[in-house]
Structure 1
């Protein structure tokens, strides 16, 4: 008998990608064949996201795509949106199974028979029961892997549904993270990106308790010792949890790269307070200064939200000016959108959507300028590039340790190889050309 085929589609963040990989491995262990989502499969698993704009619309499109490929296929929805709005997803035509936060890792237990249901069957716990930890990692392309070290969040930011979708902050045991890192290293993967919902909170809630067994600093120091890993990258860390000791450690580390992604969300203290963020702009400024002093060439990325309720033109200009003056490298700009069951959704002084869009456009323009200035500041310097494995119209792309995106004519011998280069000039497409470094 032919083995059943399973295909996966992942929406949202790097954490979702690492979890999809773990779920996929559980299917292969049960004898399923994994195929691409574009292929005909017996089961389609969609890992959903509650943060992206139009999450429900995207989900429906993907379900339709699966049904087109195989009208008889069994369709399962897992992930954040499945935890927050299980009824909504179950009602979508073609969906057979909806699994919440704790059930998604046991998905193969729910697949008794793969007959289509008239309506999606829901297995979803109260989010307060999501108190155990499932470690996971994904191998996206051959060059880098996403390693999950933490899940959930105890913060109460007024715009965010993540705590409702993923539960309390909890971490993987240190020895398990190191075991996963060693497994990744053994597969000739050169770079590991650490992911989680709030990774600076690492160490909290190992085995469901609130006692910190280890800190985030313990984690990076231990990972720095794992042999076979060339590069480690911290994905995103809250400014109030990015301590001086961590910055100093990364500055002299063998493997951690000088790249930080730090959510700001607003450059106005009034708005930060309304968002219930755990710092003010002065602390953020201080973190950027500390990084610049320790690593002048570091890449610093910033998350920012525009159009939050109560954000006046003056508040927005405060944010714009703050970011314009700050020595950062690029922005990820999010346009605020209302989420059910969040405090912000019922706040007054709602910002008109056209104004939100205009502000978003202004900050995106600022991001282009910042990235260009950062790239220009790096020209003429010696860096190391990890080349990717894809031939892109005769070129290969890669990132330097400090996250400058570079290109050179395609040469398969360099795929998944670290090469010492000199950054020479910015090309018309915004990528940087390189010359091999003379020995």
Structure 2
């Protein structure tokens, strides 16, 4: 497929909106690939689409509300053009199933997480049935629900859309989770933990490198537990570390990342890999969820506060330059003020570079949802704001340490907020904006940080002659502001 693969105005158009995590983003790309291979073009908006699919998330109630609200707004589109195919995909589709067909009579398709690879086939069935029935036939003449499990479905997320000088890509290496944390719906929506074959993953990365991709991020619900049921430990190295070694050795791949790991699977071999594999980036996302032993036990996390802090110490002792990010939940059932204070204390002690902080949202089907000691919403909101304020201050203080420093970024392309800037990331996953110059797209670029908001950095390129002058002691003029 060439760069002009979506320009045929006569082809049917698909619009796919994605909610939730990077795994959903990766799933959506694999779904779109199958439509493009069938001759569809990707619509720029819902208004020009013949097929509109929502790839949904169930991790929090708000994510489901957004998807349902969007589908409600599409009713007018369906009234204008009854031939439009509407569908729910992914985690909410898996969890709610036929309920969505009942609640949304305009919806034609509901596909669960293990059937995403069949989205194109099912849409074609619906469109063919309508064409055979002729104009004026009931729009609900064929409605499809498929949320059954399918063996080997984890191996279907392997195809990527062609893209001009694509710098980075997500690679799904496993599906599902066996942990059963009290707050988490993932084992319900994604199924049991199951890994892709190692050789297939490495071959996918090789193909991406051949297309010019410089960075890959390996994805899994608990990514560092990859292959523990399918592969053996070798020379003290887990299957995940074995995979990292192979991926990092693929020619053309300059950077490798992974997300999200679990603290209980973060062992010495993985810490050593972060130190010893040059392509493996110095960024560790380590979800803590809480700083209270009482709440960690109630969550079923499998580690204590002290064990988490010991892990942080081991990582930083081995890799002092590593950036450390985390996930935190406030307002879990039974969380007393003293428990929240322990989470505050953890944030102050660790000094995370960034923290994703969420108010607890009860999910049907999880053990925590049945608890009667829920925290009032206004108290959740207070704790959320308080913890965000603390973390923002820490992030800004740490970010200022990078001012006037030279770093290397991988230039990804246009910034989502500024059309005149390109964005890229450091090895530590800091988001950096530079002026837009096409020659930098997809390239590793040395830049100097000149300004920061705490989470976004602004930079100017550092050219080879300037670096040579600095090494010789020639003063460098101050970089212009943004």
TM-score (norm 2): 0.84
Is residue 112 of structure 1 aligned with residue 125 of structure 2? yes
Unaligned runs of 5+ in 2: 1-8, 131-138, 469-482
1:102 counterpart residue number = 114
Distance change >3 Å, CA 366–CA 419, structure 1 → 2:
same
**1:413: how far off?**
2.2
Q: In the alignment, which of 143, 150, 154 is matched to residue 133 of structure 1?
A: 154
Q: Secondary structure of the equivalent of 2:61?
A: coil
The offset of 1:133, in angstroms, is 2.0
1:186 is aligned to 2:210: yes
2:239 pairs with 1:215: yes
**Higher Rg of the two aligned structures:** 2
- Of residues 278-287 and 217-226 in structure 1, the stretch that sits farther from structure 2 once superposed is 278-287
- SS of the residue 2:407 aligns to: strand
- The 8 Å contact of residues 40 and 69 in structure 1, kept in 2 or not, is answered as no
> 2:64 matched to 1:35?
no
SS in 2 for 1:406: strand
Identify which of 233, 237, 240 aligns with 2:257: 233
Q: Distance in 1 between matches of 2:351 and 2:62?
A: 33
What is the deviation of 1:367?
A: 2.0
- For the 8 Å contact 1:130–1:168, the answer to whether it is kept is no
Change (3 A) 1:408 1:112: closer
- Contact conserved, 2:329 with 2:359, CA < 8 A, in 1? yes
Distance in 2, Cα, partners of 1:428 & 1:308 = 28
Q: How many residues align?
A: 434
What does the per-residue CA deviation read over 1:43-99, in whole Å, with 9 as the maximum and x for residues that have no partner?
A: 112111111432332123322444444532011211011110012321214111111
Give yes or no for contact 1:194–1:235 (8 Å, CA) kept in 2.
yes
The corresponding residue for 1:277 is 301
State the Cα deviation string for residues 271-327 of structure 1 (Å, max 9, x = none). 000000121111211221122112222111010000000000000001101111113
- 1:192-241 per-residue CA deviation (whole Å, 9 max, x = no partner) reads 111111111101454xxx87796111111111111111111112211111
Task: Give the corresponding residue for 1:377.
Answer: 401
Of 184-193 and 263-272, more deviation after overlay is shown by 184-193
Whether 1:14 aligns to 2:22 is yes
Q: How does 1:261-300 map to 2 (within 5 A)?
A: 261-300=285-324
Instruction: Give the distance between the partners of 2:29 and 2:301, measured in 1 at CA.
Output: 32
Decide whether the 8 Å contact of 2:330 with 2:359 is kept in 1: yes
Structure 2 partner of 1:79: 90
Structure 2 residue matching 1:420: 3-state secondary structure: strand
Are 2:413 and 1:413 aligned? no
CA distance, structure 2, for counterparts of residue 112 and residue 52 of structure 1: 32
- Is 1:252 the counterpart of 2:276? The answer is yes
Q: Is the 8 A contact 1:237 1:261 kept in 2?
A: yes
- 1:387-425 CA-partner distances (Å, limit 9, x unpaired): 231162533332111122223333232222211233344
CA RMSD of aligned residues (A): 2.5
Displacement of 1:427: 5.8
CA distance in 2, matches of 1:410, 1:153: 41
Q: Tell me the SS of whatever aligns to 1:168.
A: coil
CA contact (8 A) 2:61 2:362 kept: no
Identify if the C-alpha distance between structure 1 residues 353 and 140 changes in structure 2 by more than 3 Å, giving closer, same or farther.
Answer: farther
Note the C-alpha offset of 1:333. Answer: 0.4
Q: Check the 8 A contact 2:57/2:64 in 1, yes or no.
A: no
Q: Which residue of 2 aligns with 1:339?
A: 363
Which residue of structure 1 lines up, in the alignment, with residue 180 of structure 2?
156
CA distance in 2, matches of 1:235, 1:356: 27
- Tell me, in whole angstroms, the C-alpha distance in 1 between the residues paired with 2:14 and 2:377: 40
1:220 match: secondary structure: helix
> Aligned equivalents of 1:382 and 1:288: distance in 2?
26
SS at 2:17 equivalent: strand
User: Does residue 174 of the first structure (1) align with residue 201 of the second (2)?
Assistant: no
Q: 1:31 to 1:103 in 2, by over 3 A?
A: same
C-alpha contact 2:46 2:52 (8 A) present in aligned 1: no
Rounded Cα–Cα distance in structure 2 between residues aligned with 1:353 and 1:172: 41
